[in-house]
Amino acid sequence: MPTFEPLKLTCRLLPNFDETDWNAIAAAFSDADFCELQQAWLPKPEADFALARVAIGWQNNELLVYAELSDFDIFNDAKHLNDATYAKGDIFEIFVHPENQSDYWEFHITPENQNLQLHWPDDKAVWTCEDSQESLAPYFFNEQLIQSCTQIQKEENAWRVLARVPAGVAGAGSTPSTKIADGNVWSFSFSRYDCTRGRELPVWSASSPHIEPKFHRQQEWGNLTFSKS
């Protein structure tokens, strides 16, 4: 089985761009640090594994995440904030854990741009939960926190995501902060459920070199360092 080192990315300050123009969005991230999702827990990827590329940057005290995901059956039936995205189709996931705090965040984005937001108090709570609305209910964050937009490219068998994660996610821990500063470090991971109708289980993949498909294994998450340069 291949081995991988946890990622270390630099999150650079991005220029302003037109968020209604996907070509402009892609151009803004053209020189940004990026990663690709993988299935590190397998000797080689599954036959149905599809590529996904994720780039990062920041501006206006927000982490910006831009993802391009290949996908041959694009769907998710979630209809509202904190609907059961994980059981209804394709999702792209963002995990962030700002330094010097015990709590961390999990965000889901569907191709149709529905969000699920989970605020975990520490790295232990998740292991007692099941993938059910009842079990997850204590951890839902029910006010819209992230901002996202998506584009489904049916002819290209792909979809794209732009997400903004506010610096305020670093304000709920032991060292409150409302601004991103040069040199701040967050642990992070990106992952996806690539679902295909007729297939029993999704194809799971992640940016982190997980030894098993458990995306909350923070010991394998990467680090991103904010930089003004």
- 189: CATH: 2.60.40.1190
Residue 84 lies in a domain: yes
For residue 181, the model assigns a pLDDT of 87
For residue 5, the model assigns a pLDDT of 81
Residue 1 lies in a domain: no
Residue 49 lies in a domain: yes
For residue 180, the model assigns a pLDDT of 87
For residue 172, the model assigns a pLDDT of 53
Residue 211 lies in a domain: yes
For residue 131, the model assigns a pLDDT of 85
Distance CA 23, CA 213 (A): 33
Residue 3 lies in a domain: no
For residue 178, the model assigns a pLDDT of 63
Where the chain has pLDDT below 50, the residues are 1-2, 173-177
Return the beta strands (E) in 121-168 as ranges. Answer: 147-153, 158-166
Residue 2 lies in a domain: no
**Domain count for the chain:** 1
Residue 215 lies in a domain: yes
Alpha-carbon dihedral of residues 135, 138, 139, 142, nearest 10 degrees? 120
Domain that holds residue 138: 8-227
Residue 195 lies in a domain: yes
